Amino acid sequence: MMRLSTFLAAVVAVLALHAPVRADDYPSKPISIVVSLAAGTGMDVVTRLYSEKLSQALGKPVIVENKPGAATTLAANQVANAPADGYTLVVLTSIALSINPTLYKHLNYDPADFVPISLYVKSPFILSTYPGLPAKTVPEFIKLAKASNPPLTYASIGAGSLQQMSMEFAKKRFGFEATHVPYRSTAQLATDLTAGHVSASFLEAGLSIPLIKDRKLRALAVSASQRLPLLPDVPPFSEASGAPDYEGVSWHMLLMPAKTPRPIADRLHAEMKRIMAAPDMREKIAAVGLIPNDSPSIEEMRDYIASEHVKWGALVKQLGLEGSQ
């Protein structure tokens, strides 16, 4: 027969599980942030910067765990299925939430499995060509692409990547052709592009900027809607092409399981908004080739994820890549 003390302890434990969560009771133990890209990447560097400040604000350790692989699906799956208690967060890119749900035939998570906490940076691409290509501006590139037979070639890190999507978006918007050449390695892609084996690529800023400064590549435009501080003379693609609707960027978003109590989500959102708005943090973000973003509200971020899913998911379907992975 169960002792009364044991029974009462069990009742207390059950009641604790169902007790209302208050923001001032959180956190009571370390928090983990799962990073979907490898250590040393821009995402990793920025996450480690704000994790220290978040730890100071919350009074508990914030541990960064890198879990790269499978186009960010490993990290996404882990956190989508984690307890919804605010102690396991994840940093994902737009690939995970706007492309993968259409690209993958079987995906063990859905964008609705997460509640967004902070959309704190945008990660632009640089439309880069090898220096020998006879096009020094975006209009010249589009004109050359329309006249080329056979078509120009462009490189990306694979089918369904945002690099490919950015070029395909431009192709459809401006009516030119270019043949996709996928690579498994960004290092090999950069080597072949500088050698002129492929004509162009939308490259990540961190990879392309050193090559541009060494004049091994020519920068035609930034895929974001604003200029990069590290490349102040390179115009946004939208400005250079006269197409204000053009933006092809990745973004970094901090999220947690969707059923996490709202007081916890609100607390973390407020802390992250304060931390990421600090001038020193914005300077450090710009220094790694990323663009600081004033994080919108949780509801606005949900709407943004949905709109990005519609935009890029439609392009994945048009390219015949739906369910190809």
Q: What is the pLDDT of residues 67-112, one digit of tens each?
A: 988 778 889 999 999 999 999 999 999 989 999 999 998 888 999 9
Estimate the share of the chain in helix, then strand, then coil, as percent rounded to the nearest 5.
45, 20, 35
* Tokens found for residue 229: 């501080």
CA atoms within 13 A on the CB side of 210: 4
- φ, ψ of residue 217 to 5 degrees: the values are -135, 155
Q: 200 has which bridge partners? A: 129, 154
- pLDDT, position 222: 94
- State yes or no: pLDDT of 198 exceeds 70: yes
- pLDDT, position 268: 97
Instruction: Specify the pTM.
Output: 0.84
Q: Answer with the residue of higher pLDDT: 159 or 276.
A: 276
